Amino acid sequence: MTLFDSTSSGYCEHGRQNGQCPFCPRPEARTSDPVTSHAAAASLDHRLKDQHHLMLYHLMTHGPLTDDQLAQAAVDQGWTGRTETARRWVRTLRERHGLIVPALDDDGLQLEQENESGRMALAWEAKTWG
């Protein structure tokens, strides 16, 4: 039994608004999507893999980093051969698990760093507890 009934209260079992909890799965398909999209979404595995842990460790030891910098590090280290795969891992860590959070300056503003392309991008760090 959980403290919150997500079906009627609008809150998940962790006491957060439905869809706002980093610990609860979010729907991967829109309600208007065809049944095949819902079946594909239901088959996704969101458990953390070794590569996710390697990326978090890299971010803790070399961060803060932008998405592109972290994805490039995964390719450079040989954890994947594809940058797009590494970018998906970054999104999973941030959006699905809440383990990558904004890197903030002393004024509470999110840091920006220059990517290899010369464009500025938001910088991120690994979430810490305590």
Mean pLDDT of the chain: 82
Which of 46 and 97 is assigned the larger pLDDT? 97
Does the pLDDT at position 63 exceed 50? yes
Residues 10, 12, 13, 16: is their CA dihedral positive or negative? negative
In this structure, CATH architecture of domain 50-126 = Orthogonal Bundle (1.10)
- The pLDDT tens digits for 89-116 are 999 899 888 899 999 999 999 999 999 8
> DSSP assignment, residue 110?
B
pTM score, whole prediction: 0.65
- The domain limits of the chain are 1-44, 50-126
- Which DSSP string corresponds to 31-65? TTS-HHHHHHHHT---SPPHHHHHHHHHHHHH-SB
